Structure formats: structure tokens, C-alpha cells
Structure 1
Amino acid sequence: MGVGPGDPELLTLAAVHAIEQADVVATPLAREGGASMAAAIASRYIAPQQRLLPLSFPMVAAAAPRQQAWHRAADAVAAEVSAGRSVALLCEGDASLFATGSYVLLALQQRHPDCPIRVIPGITAISAAAAAATWPLALQQDQLLVLPCPETADALTGLLETAAEQSRVLALMKLGHRWSWVRPLLERRSLLSAALFAERVGWPDQVVRPAGDMEASERPYFSLLLVRQGWPDVLP
């Protein structure tokens, strides 16, 4: 289930009810023994008597360790369900958008097809950032393209050019270290005023600011950029 980007107030009622009714709360970890950001978001809704099931998902490029982690997680969740216990698997943001939970879902469907599953959506960092800045994401015939930030300036330039032609708003996820070269590119194209920068949306140290206010430097993994190069002809 999606628990939103960081603010506990942004959990849906469905997510809160599912957590409160679960026997076991599965919490994703980026490394063994680390802290779970998803668990931190949902902590106020987790009761002391509920058992936590830490699931480690290594942040590595190699395929095999990630696949093994997804399989282990699916097997662990299925084992709890087979024993008659309900499990709430927490996931930051939305459970279907660039989500670790999606891989566990696929692994469950493959390895444990009889395991009952319910996916509860959550508020995305994209939506929360736009709301915090009173920045409309899409209007009328606008297109909205959500994707990881490209790895090269040439790739991003192509995206920007196509987006301008198609009235397409770009939502670039996983900005992180790329901001050091993305900002100068936006400045050269006179697009800083058309872009919104956000990082750690929903957390106490949230940053949501016009892109021009942010210096070119490496930023946290959980940062994103919204770029609007035009507006509909008919507006209030």
C-alpha cells in the first residue's frame, strides 16, 4: 500500500484502516539493519502489538541481488498469509509508481498465485509537490509525462524540445546528482522560471522552490523536477 511521500497526514483512509487491521506490517529497508522510511511515515498508525516484518531491498544495479530480494520478500509475505495472518506491505508514495511494492506484487503473482492481494494507492511526491507550490500539473489538453530524469544532457534536451511541441508537462523523478548539470541546461534554455524543484516532499525538511532558487549541486535521491513550458490558450 502507498503511504504517501512523507507527511503522515497524507495517508488515505484506506491505507490507515489496512494498517490498523493488519496482524503484520511489512517494512521495506534499503539495507539490512537500516531504517524504513515507509515505516517512519506510517508509525503513528502502527500499534505496539503488531509485528514488524523487515524486508531488505538492496539499492544496487546488478539484477540478481534485486530479484533474489523480491523473491524472498514475496515468500515471506506469502508465508504469513498462509499462516492466517494479514500483512500490510508499506510503500512510499504510490504503490504502483516506481514502487518496490510493485516488484513484490509481481513476484507474489508468479510464485504464490493463490495469495490474495489488495493494492491501495497513495499520494505521489509529484502531486504533493505541485499542491505545496499551488502549481497546476495538467490543464485541459496538456499531457503529463512522468519518468526518471535522463542520464545525459542530450537526452533531456530532446525531451524538452518534444514537450514544448506537444504541450507536455514533464515530471522528472530521481533527480539527485543530475541536478548539477540539469540546472545549467535549464538556464541555457531560459527554462528556470518554468520549472519547480522539490526534494523530500512531505518531510519536515521538505524543499519546494522555483528551480532558479536552487544552486547547481548534487541533491538527495528523493528529489524531482516539474517543467511547464507553456499554458493553455484559455485561462481565468
Structure 2
Amino acid sequence: MASAPLGDSLETAAAGPAPATPGLTLVGVGPGDPELLTVAAVRSLRQAAVVAYPVAREGAEGMAAAIAAPWLSPQQRRLPLLFPMVAEAAPRIAAWHAAADALAAEVAAGLAVVLLCEGDVSLFASSSYVLLALRQRHPGCPLRLIPGIASVAAAAAAGAWPLALQQESLLIRPTPESPAELEALLAQAAASATVLALLKLGHRWRWVRPLLAARGLLEAALFAQRVGWPDQQVAPALALPAAEQPYFSLLLIRQGWPAVLP
């Protein structure tokens, strides 16, 4: 007998999800579009009694929570976790420890808990710090990780832009802090057939654009901001003026192509 379509199975889960085993699941919710959540992510969300998510300040909704909202129900308890966006180490470490303790307490009470993470749970993710804190402070806490679509992959798909081909390497990292650092990175990438995915572009675009223009790399590079959100912008880097861009913007740079292509 043919299996039920995915939509039917998710509707059934919404009507009456199967009881979940107590534990914590770190769920990657993708970069912005609720439709990009995996089947495993949606099923985990539907079964959770407690939905935790990071916020940058008290009272904020949180981007991960906004992405997952269509898949949640009013009966689920929300647990915002404060992760301050500061440079100092001490407040961030204290926040990670507090989050780990709060999540472990919910699991110890016999509840199924999810921690939402924008993008993927392992790539420059706030959930990774909680994971490390849990291993240190609560090693017996049952854990599961569900990967999510990263903004780099979503941007490449939106721009029909192949991320890596054949023997190419792919380097994903924050945008360098200075022109000299970027110059050195571009030279290394060109010599090693490495495609660059530069995150957290933001205000650096003011000097990154003219640097790429001088190297003739603007037209082939792909710019993306707020991937997966209604105001998403994905375009050749040439189309963007040299002005400050949002924090959640990125750049994909390829300086050459493999010898064998269609």
C-alpha cells in the first residue's frame, strides 16, 4: 500500500502528535522561509512540549521563533533564552551556561524540548555554544540535533549559483575585517580553486565592493541579504552600490571555473 503524502502525515501530527520521549532537540529552522524546514524538524516541533529560542534582548520575539511560528501550536510553552549580542566574553559565557541549565531542567522534569536555531545547528550557530555547555554541565541530558538549511546554500539556490564543482573547495567564513586581509584571502582562494562564501558582510561592503571591482570580480559574485525572508535580495554584486548593508548579508565569490563544463 502506498504511504501517505507528506502533507497528510503532518496534518495528522498537528491534530494529535505522538508522545515524544523526554529530551532536548536542537532544530535548525533554515534562514527565513518556514517552507525550508525539514520533515524531521517539523515533526520534532509538533511533538515538543516546550519550544526554546534565542533572543538578543528581553521581550524580543527572536528570528528563529518567527521562522518556526507556522509550525507551532498555542498549547506549547515558549522559553526565550537571552543571548546578548556583546563583545565581552563573560556575559556570553554566563548566558550559555544559564541556557544549558534551563533546558536541562525542563528535560529533567520529563518534557520534550526543542531549541530553535536559525540556519543550521552546527554552522556559526548559537545552539553550538549551548551544546558545548550542556556537555560540560549536564552530560546526561538526552540530545538530538536536526540540521537545517544554511543561508549560504539557500542563497546559492535562489541565485542559481553553483557553490562548488568537481575539485573546487568551498570556504565559509565571516568577511575579513580589513582590505589587506581580504586581498590575501582572494589570492589564496584563486591559487587553490576555492569558492568563497563570506558572511556578516554588513558595513564592510563599503570597502569590499571597490576592492572586488578593481579585481574584476563584481559581475560574477553573488550578493544576498535576508535570504528566505519576504524582503530577500539576491543579485549580482555589481548591482549593489558601495553602501552599508544589513548584518545578515553575504557574498559568494568564484574566481574561475573548472576546465570541464557543459
What TM-score do the two structures reach when normalised by structure 2?
0.89
Shift of 1:32: 1.2
- Residue equivalent to 2:228: 202
Whole-angstrom CA distance in 1 between matches of 2:67 and 2:198 = 23
Q: Does residue 145 of the first structure (1) align with residue 168 of the second (2)? A: no
In structure 2, how many angstroms separate the alpha carbons of the residues matched to 1:19 and 1:180? 40
Pairing partner for 1:110 from 122, 136, 145: 136
Q: Is the partner of 1:119 in helix, strand or coil? A: strand
SS of 1:87's equivalent in the other structure is strand
Equivalent residue for 2:107? 81
What is the CA-CA distance between 1:190 and the residue it aligns to? Answer: 1.0
Structure-2 residue corresponding to 1:69: 95
User: In the alignment, does 2:152 pair up with 1:126?
Assistant: yes
Per-residue Cα deviation, 1:48-94 (whole angstroms, up to 9, x for no partner) = 10000000100100000000000000000000000001110000000
Cα distance in 1 for residues equivalent to 2:180 and 2:60:
37
Which residue of structure 2 lines up, in the alignment, with residue 32 of structure 1? 58
- Separation in structure 2 between the aligned mates of residue 130 and residue 114 of structure 1, nearest angstrom: 39
**1:180 maps onto 2:206 in alignment:** yes
Which residue of 2 is the match for residue 91 of structure 1? 117
Counterpart amino acid of 1:225? Answer: L
Q: How many residues are paired up?
A: 236
Identity %: 68
Q: 1:6 aligns with which of 32, 49, 61?
A: 32
Q: Which runs of 4+ in 1 moved over 2 A?
A: none
Q: Distance in 2 between matches of 1:200 and 1:160?
A: 24
Give 1:141 deviation, angstroms. Answer: 0.2
- Do residues 156 (structure 1) and 179 (structure 2) align? no
1:194 is displaced (CA, Å) by: 2.1
Stretches of structure 1 that go unaligned for 5 or more consecutive residues are none
Hey, what does 1:21 align to over in structure 2? Answer: 47
- 27-36 vs 47-56, greater mean Cα deviation: 27-36
**C-alpha displacement of 1:35:** 2.0
Paired with 2:61 and 2:103, the residues of 1 have a C-alpha distance of 19
- Residue 10 of structure 2 is matched in structure 1 by none
For residue 241 of structure 2, what is the aligned residue in structure 1?
Answer: 215
Instruction: Please report the TM-score for the alignment, with normalisation by the length of structure 1.
Output: 0.99
Shift of residue 33 of structure 1? 1.2
Q: In angstroms, what is the RMSD of aligned CA positions? A: 0.5
Residue by residue over 1:127-150, the C-alpha shift from the partner in whole angstroms, topping out at 9 and shown as x without a partner, is 000000110000000000000000
Structure 2 equivalent of residue 189 of structure 1: 215
Query: 1:164: Cα distance to partner?
Result: 0.6
